[in-house]
């Protein structure tokens, strides 16, 4: 039954029943696949119920369970080991969007601080063991409410459980990520097209954002850096004006239909210097090396080692350390920064895992350089998901062509 | 996500005003018996941190430690590699990075006699971080505090208001481009170009449609550390009458926004114009102080009786849920005056 619960908030009277309609057969199959996987993992861990918590900056698990975009500061889904899930948000529009999506047909407004709509449903289940995905981020007020609702239950983290389930993307998901890839390519094209001396960094971002949103992107995560050899990392944009000879770097990560995908490229304003060309060659070789080792069962560690070995071979190994860089890539999906591709991370990457290979770091050759392609693990290796040429872009070459 | 212009400009906010923000917080701490106040922020909700430090937590989490006397310190999970950028954009000089906050705070307080650590808006802190700090600080009392920094932000200073007016002018230009026929993605695209191109740090856009062809666009954005909102409906010349009545209702609500007015006055003023909404519709008329717009006031909505304060800036939003599942929204950001409000975002 489709219904909209209401927590009793005076600002959110009950009775709104959005017209959503049932999901398509394909969507239904995808939802069933997800719930089956999660419930299997719950059974392995002895969980009677799972609570997926979405604070404003980590909504991937609620999206995974509902396929609906939510915007509230707090949203949750309660998935019992058996029976239908129920969703909550502090915003009425979220509850309506969830119901309209058709995956979860029981959704309501959560009134803080009591969160009574959630806690009463959880208490009704009388669980012995509850897993909370992103429980690490639960605010005190909600953590206390959950504990009070099920005082004798064991409450454990289910963050890793959900991370593991989401790691392997289905055909359904990869189809969505291919749309993200198309938008990545267009975003990079907009980035290159706007570069010219005298343009402030933040105006570049404005043009890229405008293009991404024109194409329907829900959101975008983007860092930028411009300048020469002195650039040590990526940040939000400033007022710095581009100069001839600058290398302008970006990590550009649009979100389409929930799915994030990243492209990393660098472009030179004017003609590239010898150092910039040598830097590109080094990073390109590292990306190639990372791609070359991808196969079902490869570990994140092995993909990182393949990239770092290129730097070591050329005498730049020290620039693969945390003093200069963070990771050699990371997973993609409903969160933009899933499992890190870094030495020491033994996470196995199965067929269907999607991640970016980017050896981004500083070297003395040309300062911080970013270059990377997102890939999906296939039966035989890696498929690069974007069609953007991997080269050192330069405005002089682009304008000439 | 926050990826627009981040800048520290002393011509916009003088250095002594920034120092005064920290000093104002410090003056309140002795009354609560607090030795050090900690202010938490993450990429989604970090305006208290931004207010005190001008730091943009564009990713991950951070804590500003404000001792009862002395300079503030910023503790973050972001890498030391971005400290250079942070120093360029912040009035805080002492920046410390680590993988978790317990060891960072422990190191910060090393050598001090145990006392009281106040957690500003402690009820909203991640419980695990509170547990981490508790374990790291034996002998110290961790005491949850109210929204001490938020309270400072509720009525903008003269300089802050000037920035809000600059941001409002950009917002007015963005919404002026919301014209038929759309599509909504074209409006969103134009808003991004106008606002981020004008220096907005964050732009959040929500669009909605109804079955009878009424489209809405709600734009909420952050200009420096102030927030603004405007929302418009586009119904076309043959659109339903209720759509045009929404703007009438919004103007009426704005007209009722004056010093000391309860939020219910805004609803009462808007109600006559909303009488023509389709049967079964549900509407909210909400005031959200700009200090709370990052979260749409989600954490303050149920705080009880709320009265508008002279000089406060906030969004008045009329949000309509139609019985068929559609949604329509109108909004503007206003400055509360003694007898009336000034609409800032209507060009």
Segment B175-213, tens digit of pLDDT = 999 988 889 999 999 999 999 999 999 999 999 989 888
Residues A105 and A8 occupy one common structural domain: yes
Tell me: cis bond preceding B182? Omega within 30 of 0 counts.
no
Longest dimension (CA), chain B: 73
Residues B136 and B221 occupy one common structural domain: no
Domain boundary among A124, A148, A166: A166
Domain boundary among B152, B177, B207: B152
Instruction: Give the H or E element holding residue A393.
Output: strand A393-394
Q: Alpha carbon of B65 to those of A263, A346, B119, B332: distances in Å?
A: 36, 36, 10, 35
Indicate if the pLDDT at residue B300 is higher than 90: no
Collapsing DSSP states into helix, strand and coil, what is residue A67? coil
CA distance B305 to chain A (A): 12
Mean pLDDT score, A191-214: 98
Residues A51 and A113 occupy one common structural domain: yes
Residues B193 and B311 occupy one common structural domain: yes
CATH classification at residue B105 = 3.40.350.10
* Angstrom distance (rounded) from CA B53 to CA B34: 20
CATH classification at residue A391 = 3.90.230.10
* Angstrom distance (rounded) from CA A225 to CA A249: 5
> What are the φ/ψ torsions at residue B146 (nearest 5 degrees)?
-80, -165
Residues B228 and B135 occupy one common structural domain: no
Residues A26 and A87 occupy one common structural domain: yes
Residues B89 and B220 occupy one common structural domain: no
Residues A250 and A346 occupy one common structural domain: yes
Which residues from chain B sit within 8 angstroms of residue A89, using beta carbons?
A: none
* Angstrom distance (rounded) from CA A371 to CA A279: 10
Domain boundary among B127, B152, B177: B152
Domain boundary among A166, A191, A209: A166
Candidates A209, A217, A325, A344, partner chain B, best to mutate (most B CBs within 10 A): A209
Express as a percent the part of chain A with pLDDT over 70: 95
Collapsing DSSP states into helix, strand and coil, what is residue A112? coil
Inside any domain, residue B10: no
One DSSP character per residue, B123-166 reads GGSBHHHHHHHHHH-TTPEEEEE--HHHHHHSS--HHHHHHHHH
For residue B115, give the DSSP letter.
Answer: -
Which residues from chain A sit within 8 angstroms of residue B128, using beta carbons?
A: 135-138
One DSSP character per residue, A154-215 reads EEEE-HHHHHHHHHBPPHHHHHHHHHHHHHHHHHHHHHHHH--TT-BHHHHHHHHHHHHHHT
Strands (E), A49-100: 49-55, 74-80, 86-89
The Cβ of residue B31 has, within 10 Å, a number of other Cβ atoms equal to 7
Which residues from chain A sit within 8 angstroms of residue B122, using beta carbons?
A: 140
**A343 in contact with B at a CB cutoff of 8 Å?**
no
Inside any domain, residue B9: no
Q: What angle do CA A169, A170, A175 make, to 5 degrees?
A: 95
Indicate if the pLDDT at residue B251 is higher than 90: yes
- Predicted confidence at residue A14, as pLDDT, reads 28
Which residues from chain B sit within 8 angstroms of residue A235, using beta carbons?
A: 6, 58, 82, 85
> What residues make up the domain containing A276?
171-400
- What is the Cα B105 distance to its own chain's centre? 27
Residues B256 and B301 occupy one common structural domain: yes
Mean pLDDT score, B238-245: 91
CATH classification at residue A110 = 3.40.350.10
**A241 in contact with B at a CB cutoff of 8 Å?**
no
Mean pLDDT score, A66-92: 97
Give the pLDDT band of residue A285 (cuts 50, 70, 90). very high
Residues B138 and B187 occupy one common structural domain: no
Mean pLDDT score, A324-344: 97
Inside any domain, residue B3: no
Whether the Cβ atoms of residue B341 and residue B311 lie closer than 8 Å to each other: no
- Predicted confidence at residue B306, as pLDDT, reads 85
Domain boundary among B85, B118, B152: B152
Q: Helix A201-214 crosses helix B184-197 at what angle (to 10 degrees)?
A: 170
Which residues from chain A sit within 8 angstroms of residue B319, using beta carbons?
A: 92-93
Residues A156 and A224 occupy one common structural domain: no
Whether the Cβ atoms of residue B228 and residue B243 lie closer than 8 Å to each other: no
Q: Which residues contact B190 (CB under 8 A, 6 or more apart)?
A: A210, B174, B177, B178
Whether the Cβ atoms of residue B234 and residue B206 lie closer than 8 Å to each other: no
Mean pLDDT score, A79-86: 97
Residues A76 and A126 occupy one common structural domain: yes
Region of A245 (left: φ > 0; alpha: ψ -120 to 50; beta: rest) is left
Token pair belonging to B244: 């045009």
* Angstrom distance (rounded) from CA B171 to CA B160: 16
Token pair belonging to B185: 């993605």
Residues B87 and B221 occupy one common structural domain: no
Inside any domain, residue B140: yes
The answer to whether the Cβ–Cβ distance between B123 and A221 falls below 8 Å is no
* Angstrom distance (rounded) from CA B123 to CA B146: 8
Candidates A235, A326, A344, A363, partner chain B, best to mutate (most B CBs within 10 A): A235
Span B125-168, pLDDT tens digits: 999 999 999 999 999 999 999 999 999 999 999 999 999 999 99
Residues A204 and A100 occupy one common structural domain: no
Give the pLDDT band of residue A20 (cuts 50, 70, 90). low
Residues A235 and A384 occupy one common structural domain: yes
The model carries a pTM of 0.95
- Predicted confidence at residue B304, as pLDDT, reads 59
Tokens 């951070």: give the residue.
B62
Inside any domain, residue B2: no
Residues A61 and A162 occupy one common structural domain: yes
Mean pLDDT score, B216-228: 97
**A120 in contact with B at a CB cutoff of 8 Å?**
no
End-to-end CA distance of chain B: 27
Region of A15 (left: φ > 0; alpha: ψ -120 to 50; beta: rest) is left
CA distance B1 to chain A (A): 6
Decide the pairing of beta strands B73-76 and B94-97: parallel
Token pair belonging to A265: 């490229």
Residues B185 and B329 occupy one common structural domain: yes
- Predicted confidence at residue A18, as pLDDT, reads 41
CATH classification at residue B293 = 3.90.230.10
- Predicted confidence at residue A6, as pLDDT, reads 31
**A348 in contact with B at a CB cutoff of 8 Å?**
no
Inside any domain, residue B85: yes
Beta-bridge mates of residue B203: B221
Give the pLDDT band of residue A399 (cuts 50, 70, 90). confident
- Predicted confidence at residue A220, as pLDDT, reads 96
Residues A110 and A244 occupy one common structural domain: no
- Predicted confidence at residue B182, as pLDDT, reads 85
Which residues from chain B sit within 8 angstroms of residue A233, using beta carbons?
A: 79, 81-82, 84-85
Whether the Cβ atoms of residue A62 and residue A77 lie closer than 8 Å to each other: yes
Inside any domain, residue B8: no
Residues B234 and B204 occupy one common structural domain: yes
Characterize A253-281 residue by residue with b for buried, 16 or more Cβ atoms within 10 angstroms of its Cβ, and e for exposed.
bbbbbbbbbbbbbbbbbbebbebbbbbbe
Residues B175 and B220 occupy one common structural domain: yes
Q: Which residues contact A333 (CB under 8 A, 6 or more apart)?
A: A60, A166, A167, A169, A173, A177, A259, A260, A354
Q: Helix A300-313 crosses helix A274-292 at what angle (to 10 degrees)?
A: 150
Whether the Cβ atoms of residue A17 and residue A3 lie closer than 8 Å to each other: yes
Give the pLDDT band of residue B303 (cuts 50, 70, 90). low
Residues A182 and A78 occupy one common structural domain: no
- Predicted confidence at residue A19, as pLDDT, reads 47
Domain boundary among A117, A136, A166: A166
> What residues make up the domain containing B70?
15-152
Token pair belonging to A286: 């590292």
Instruction: Give the H or E element holding residue A249.
Output: strand A247-256
- Closest CB to A237: pick one of B4, B208, B298: B4
Total domain count, chain B: 2
> What are the φ/ψ torsions at residue A275 (nearest 5 degrees)?
-65, -40
Whether the Cβ atoms of residue B37 and residue B94 lie closer than 8 Å to each other: no
Handedness of CA A268, A273, A277, A283 (dihedral sign): negative
Residues B173 and B41 occupy one common structural domain: no
The answer to whether the Cβ–Cβ distance between B327 and A93 falls below 8 Å is yes
This model of the complex carries an ipTM of: 0.95
- Predicted confidence at residue B237, as pLDDT, reads 78
* Angstrom distance (rounded) from CA A213 to CA A152: 48
* Angstrom distance (rounded) from CA A367 to CA A363: 5
Span B58-102, pLDDT tens digits: 888 999 999 999 999 999 998 899 999 999 999 999 999 999 999
Residues B212 and B275 occupy one common structural domain: yes
- Predicted confidence at residue A13, as pLDDT, reads 28
Token pair belonging to B57: 């937590």
Token pair belonging to B193: 């170009």
Whether the Cβ atoms of residue A329 and residue A345 lie closer than 8 Å to each other: no
Mean pLDDT score, A156-167: 98
Total domain count, chain A: 2
Q: What angle do CA A365, A369, A374 make, to 5 degrees?
A: 140
């Amino acid at each position: 039954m489709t219904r909209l619960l209401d927590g009793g908030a005076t600002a959110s009277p009950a009775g709104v029943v959005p017209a959503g309609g049932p999901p398509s057969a394909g969507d239904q199959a995808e939802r069933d696949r997800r719930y089956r996987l999660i419930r299997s993992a719950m059974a392995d861990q002895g969980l009677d119920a799972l609570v997926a918590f979405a604070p404003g900056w980590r909504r991937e698990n609620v999206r995974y369970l509902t396929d609906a975009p939510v915007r509230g500061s707090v949203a949750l889904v309660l998935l019992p080991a058996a029976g239908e899930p129920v969703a909550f948000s502090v915003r009425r529009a979220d509850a309506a969007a969830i119901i309209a999506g058709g995956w979860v047909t029981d959704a309501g407004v959560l009134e803080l601080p009591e969160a009574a709509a959630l806690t009463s449903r959880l208490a009704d289940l009388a669980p012995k063991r509850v897993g909370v995905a992103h429980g690490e981020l639960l605010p005190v007020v909600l953590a206390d409410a959950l504990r009070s609702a099920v005082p004798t239950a064991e409450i454990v983290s289910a963050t890793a459980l959900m991370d593991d389930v989401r790691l392997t993307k289905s055909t359904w998901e990869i189809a969505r990520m291919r749309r993200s890839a198309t938008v990545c390519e267009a975003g990079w094209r907009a980035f290159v097209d706007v570069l010219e001396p005298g343009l402030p960094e933040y105006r570049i971002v404005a043009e890229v954002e405008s293009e991404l949103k024109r194409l329907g992107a829900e959101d975008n995560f983007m860092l930028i850096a411009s300048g020469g050899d002195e650039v040590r990392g990526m940040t939000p944009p400033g007022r710095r004006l581009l100069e001839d000879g600058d290398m302008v770097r970006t990590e550009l990560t649009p979100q389409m239909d929930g799915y994030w995908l990243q492209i990393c490229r660098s472009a030179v304003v004017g003609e590239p210097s010898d150092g910039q060309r040598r830097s590109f060659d080094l990073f390109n070789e590292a990306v190639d090396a990372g791609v070359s080792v991808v196969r079902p069962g490869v570990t994140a560690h092995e993909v990182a080692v393949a990239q770092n070995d290129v730097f070591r071979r050329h005498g730049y190994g020290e620039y693969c350390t945390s003093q200069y860089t963070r990771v050699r890539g990371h997973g993609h999906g409903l969160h933009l920064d899933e499992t890190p591709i870094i030495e020491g991370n033994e996470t196995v990457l199965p067929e269907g895992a999607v991640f970016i290979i980017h050896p981004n770091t500083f070297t003395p050759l040309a300062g911080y350089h970013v270059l990377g392609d997102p890939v999906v693990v296939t039966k035989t290796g890696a498929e690069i998901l974007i069609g953007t040429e991997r080269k050192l872009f330069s405005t002089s070459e682009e304008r000439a062509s | 996500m926050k990826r627009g212009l981040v800048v520290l400009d002393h011509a916009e906010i003088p250095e002594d005003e920034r120092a005064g923000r920290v000093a104002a917080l410090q003056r309140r701490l002795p009354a609560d018996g607090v030795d050090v106040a900690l202010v938490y922020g993450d990429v989604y909700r970090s305006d208290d941190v931004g207010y005190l430090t001008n730091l943009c937590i564009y990713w991950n989490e951070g804590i500003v430690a404000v001792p009862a006397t002395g300079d503030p310190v910023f503790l973050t999970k972001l890498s030391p590699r971005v400290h250079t950028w942070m120093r360029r954009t912040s009035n805080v000089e002492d920046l410390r990075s680590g993988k978790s906050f317990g060891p960072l705070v422990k190191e910060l307080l090393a050598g001090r006699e145990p006392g009281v650590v106040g957690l500003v808006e402690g009820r909203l802190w991640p419980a695990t971080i509170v547990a981490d700090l508790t374990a790291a600080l034996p002998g110290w009392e961790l005491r949850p505090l109210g929204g001490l920094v938020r309270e400072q932000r509720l009525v903008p200073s003269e300089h802050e208001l000037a920035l809000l007016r600059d941001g409002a002018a950009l917002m007015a230009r963005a919404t002026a481009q919301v014209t038929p026929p759309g599509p909504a993605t074209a409006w969103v695209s134009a808003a991004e170009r106008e606002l981020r191109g004008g220096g907005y740090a964050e732009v959040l856009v929500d669009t909605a449609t109804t079955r009878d062809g009424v489209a809405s666009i709600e734009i909420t954005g952050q200009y420096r550390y102030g927030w603004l909102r405007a929302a418009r409906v586009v119904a076309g010349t043959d659109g339903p009458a209720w759509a045009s009545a929404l703007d009438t209702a919004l103007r009426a609500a704005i007209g009722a926004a004056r010093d000391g007015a309860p939020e219910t006055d805004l609803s009462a003023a808007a109600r006559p114009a909303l009488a023509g909404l389709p049967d079964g519709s549900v509407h909210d008329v909400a005031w959200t102080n700009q200090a709370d717009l990052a979260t749409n006031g989600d954490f303050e909505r149920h705080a009880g009786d709320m009265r508008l304060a002279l000089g406060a800036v906030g969004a008045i939003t009329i949000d309509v849920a139609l019985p068929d599942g559609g949604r329509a929204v109108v909004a503007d950001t206003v400055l509360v005056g003694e007898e009336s409000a000034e609409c800032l975002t209507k060009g």
